[in-house]
Every structure is written in structure tokens, then in C-alpha cells.
Chains A and B, each alone.
Chain A
């Protein structure tokens, strides 16, 4: 108790620093995965992608990032049982942030594929189980989180499969693909906007002070989506048939229509990513602030200050501004086999899955979800060559990341405990 009173401000300051660094890492590296598909399919330039990412990552983090942050903050560890020694929760959350940040730096330098989400969850479970006691971990919640890591790529893949099949049926396999693309693409835009706004209005916004009933949410979402669709129709008006390009490749003009659609799904993807991944950075920070602000009383039901999400969103934006350009360029150059008609299907499916997970408060890996979605398009005969070894790489990264995050967190936990008593 005295430790909190004595060093409370310092803990918060340190945690803010670590949290900001994590958010910076998410912005510098992770966002590139979420947006790389748009850059690779030439729907957006790197610069446009960065601007979209900045706006929508921030919006997603601030407006819809609350649920997952709540899970990281108080869902994995049974905070009520720890009321006797709140400083342990503070040490643990600080070690988790530090462990995740250091592990991500190491992995980036070594070129290992890791997930921020898996690292932070591994770290929190690790310090809690070893440093405090196995019984303080809410294993039920942890199991559902781990299950969601399997379910999310599968769900995204299934969605992507059906979205691409619908494109095949409505647009590609018709007499007038260009005309039909112009006719049906606004529908996909509507769907994209509706999915995002629905989750935001029903699951987010509480902390911003907007409380809407379900009916109101549906009505507002419908109105917003309709407005988005009208904007899309206006943009599509400017797309004309390019005779010259069509001579080489008859679907060049059709792809131009999908490129417009992909601007919308890219926004959705950035929003979804922000809403889920910001929690990795600010979830532990929120937990620390909560303990310190209540002078050591761990209140599971206390509200989370909104500025924490602002800090996370800000960190992501700074990460994007400093490193995003380079990383996104690299990924965009690699992913050139994804045309907008496929890229949008993958992004829409992944964004839907991630936003749903954000609404339910499940921290999932955006990159893995996107991989699942791309595989789904592949299953629908949409992509000319996919490397299935990646599935093995992902499993390997799980096996490495979880213990690594946990191990580092345990070390730091005992270190903090030793320093502050």
C-alpha cells in the first residue's frame, strides 16, 4: 500500500512510457500488415495508406478500443482476489509491457514473425501464474482468448470465401463485368460501413459518453452507411472504361472499380486494427492507472479514463509517421499478386472478424486473421499462388511467442519486486 502511495506517480509515468512505446511498435510494424494488402494491390499509394491508417487507426482505437482494453486490463487476472497486494498487479503489468516491447524489438531485428497480441497475453498470463499464483489467472477467459486465435482466421477465411464467390457470381462471371461492378460495388461499400458503424455504436462509444439504444444504433448506422455509399457512388462515377488497358487485360477497368472499393475496406481494416491492437499497448497501462488512481484499491468495475485510449491511438500514429512508410513500402512491394477484387474480399472479411472480436472484447491477431481471409479467397480459386508453409510459420510463432513473452515478463516481475519490495 505504501509503495503505491510513494511511487504511484512514477509507476504511471513509466507505464505511460512503455505503453506509448508499445503503441509506437504497433504503428510502425503491425499496421503495415493490415494495410499492406491495399498498397500491394495498387489500390492506394504508400502515402495514402499512411494517411488513412493514421485517421482510422486512431478512430478505431479511441471509439471502439475499450472492450479489448478492458479484457487485457482486468479480464485475464482475477483482480478482486488481489486486493490485498495491489502493487503486485502494478509490477506485473509493467513487466508485461516491458517484456512485450523488448521481445518485439528482438523479434523484429531477427526477422521472426510474431504477434503483439500473443506476446502481451503470454506475458500477462506468465507473470500472473508464476509470480502471483496459478489460481489468480482466469483460465476460462484465457481459454476463450486462445480459442479465438483459432476461430478468427477460420471465420475470416469463411467470410472471404463467400464474399469472393459473390463477386464471382455477381460481377466476374457475367456478360458485362464493368457495368455489374459499378452496380454492385456500392452494396459492398454499404456493408463495410454498416459493419463498422454497428459495432462502434453498440459496443464502443460508452466511454465517450454516448449511450444509444440498439434501435437507435441500427438507425444511425443505416444512415451513416447510406451516406458512405453515396460517397462511393460519386467516386465510382469518375471511373471509366480504359480501352488501352483492357486490350492487354480485359478486366483492367473492372479492377479499377474494385480499387475504389478497396479504399473503403482499407479504412475499415485500419479501424478494426486500431480497435483491437491498441489494447495490447494500453490495456496494462489502464490497469496500472486504475490501481494508482484508487490509492491501491483494485476496483474491477471502475471506468477507464478515455485519455488512455488517446495515448494509445497517438502512439500508433507516431509509429506510422516514423517507420510506417518504410515497412509498408516493403510489404506492399512483396504483395503484388493480390488484385483489388481479391484484396477487398480479404480485407472486408478480416475487418469484420476483427471488429466483431473487438466488440466482444477478444484480443486477436490482425495479421493471422488477414492470412486466414486471404486463404479463404484462395480456396475460392481467387489467387494464383499461395504458399501454405505460412500456416506452419504461424504455428511456430505461437509456440515461440507465448513462452518468450511469459518468460521475459516473469524475469521483469521479480526484478521490479526486488527493487520496490
Chain B
């Protein structure tokens, strides 16, 4: 009886903590980008390669965590939130790590030099995008409290506030993107065209990162709305 008590079989593994750990891992991936950028901006691509490997390693870990969570969410599980919404949220969390890896990959592959005039603005832009991911991580840190309170109206209000912050931050990143593009356009004639093309591509990817972070937020919002 004890070996297979119905009471023991009743409890599935809670996805809450693993989801939060996955988000932390994905965000850790994103945060490393600023170190990568600082080293890359000096042109030392040997040091940058080491950091990119670090990012790739973190991304791989996040990927494994994602698969593990999916494995432990069979559709016979009864949860306070729809399983599909939770899996959707997980997919977007994982995309954060993927974007970080992409950005580092493109920059390293081209051994990209950032034009001096736009360097400070570019860094500010990247920071702002990483901050968007930070806001998403902040909101996700409330996931355990949400489950604990049984999705109480107060807790939902609190998380909604955090999600508003996230949207604001994404908006700031958007505005910075426009400014960076403008600044690059002003100096683009002085640099090799192909390098500039890829620079535009990196700018786009950084904007994408903020976008994905925002989408993590909107998935969380869907989870709350019931």
C-alpha cells in the first residue's frame, strides 16, 4: 500500500519553481551580453569568444531545463492554470536565451567593430533591452506568490503593475532603437557597407530581445486572466 499509495500518486511535480529557475537561467544568459559587448567594443574578440561560450553554455542549460519541465507536465495534470498557457510562457522564456546567443553569435562571427560615434548610444540601447528582460524576470519571480495565494486579486494587481513596468521599459528600448539607427545612418558612409548591414542586423536583434521579454510578460498576463 505504502509503496504506491494513491495519496502519493496524487501529487505531480509543481512546475512553479522549475519555471522560475528556467527564467533566471535565461535571464542570466541575457545579462552576460553586456560583458560580451564591452569586450567586443574594444576589439578583443578572443576574450569575447570566451564570453560567448559562456552564453552558449547557459543557453544549453536553459534548454535542458525547458525539456525537463515539459517532460514533467503530462496532460493528465490538473493545474490552476491551463497547461498550454504555461508551456507557451516557457517557450518564450527560452527564446530570451536564444536571442542572447544569436546576438553574441552574429557579433563574433563578423568580429564586428562598433563605430566610435555610436558606441555610447549602442551600449545604452543594449542595457535598456537587457533591462526589459530584467523586468520580465521580476514579474516571473511573483509566480510562486501567485500560486500560493490561489491567484488572489491583490497579487494579480501587483503582478499587473510589474507588467506595466515591463511595457514601459520595452517602450524605452524601442525609442533607443530609433535613435541608434539614426545615429548609425549619419555615419554609415564612413564604414564598409557589409559591416554596417550586419550592424543594423544586430540592432534589430537587440530590439527583438526586448520584444521577446515583453512577450514573456504578455504570456504571464494571459496566465492571470481567468
Q: Tell whether A and B belong to one assembly.
A: yes
- Residue of A whose beta carbon sits closest to that of B144: A249
| Contact in complex: A331, B1 (CB < 8 Å) | no
B198 close to chain A: CB less than 8 A: no
Q: 1/0 per position for B76-104, CB-CB distance to A under 8 A?
A: 11111000000000000000000000000
The answer to whether B80 touches A384 (Cβ under 8 A) is: yes
Task: Known A37-B7, A108-B2, A113-B5; judge A389-B148 contact (CB<8 A).
Answer: no
Q: Most A CB atoms within 10 A — which of B145, B147, B148? A: B148
Closest to A171 in B: B149
Contact with A along B1-23 (1 / 0, CB 8 A): 11111111111111110000000
B153 touches A108 (CB 8 A): no
Can you offer 16 A-B residue contacts whose CB atoms are under 8 A? A29-B2, A36-B5, A37-B7, A111-B4, A112-B1, A113-B1, A168-B150, A172-B152, A327-B2, A334-B8, A367-B5, A384-B14, A385-B11, A386-B12, A387-B9, A390-B10
How many residues on B have C-beta within 8 angstroms of the other chain's C-beta atoms?
33
- Asked if B76 and A173 sit within 8 Å, CB to CB, the answer is no
Least Cβ distance of B101 to chain A in Å? 29
B67 contacts A by Cβ under 8 Å: no
Q: Tell me if B151 is interfacial: C-beta within 8 Å of chain A.
A: yes
Question: Separation in Å of the A271 CB from the closest CB of chain B?
Answer: 18
Residues facing B in A356-400 (CB within 8 A) are: 367-368, 370-371, 374-375, 378, 380-390, 393-394, 397
Contacts A108-B1, A371-B7 hold; do A384 and B150 have CB atoms under 8 A apart? no
Interface residue from A172, A374, A388, A393 paired with B149 (Cβ < 8 Å): A172
Most A-side CB within 10 Å, residue of B73, B79, B150, B151: B150
- Say if the beta carbon of B189 comes within 8 Å of chain A: no
User: Using Cβ atoms and an 8 Å threshold, which residues of chain B touch A367?
Assistant: 5-7
Nearest CB on B from A156, distance (A): 13
Beyond A371-B10, A387-B78, 20 additional contacts (C-beta under 8 Å) are A37-B7, A108-B2, A172-B148, A172-B149, A249-B145, A250-B145, A327-B2, A330-B3, A337-B11, A337-B14, A338-B11, A371-B7, A375-B10, A378-B80, A384-B80, A385-B73, A386-B78, A387-B11, A388-B78, A390-B10
Is A87 an interface position by the 8 A CB rule? no
A interface, how many residues as a size bin?
A: 35 or more
| Chain A residues within 8 Å of B77, by CB | 385-388
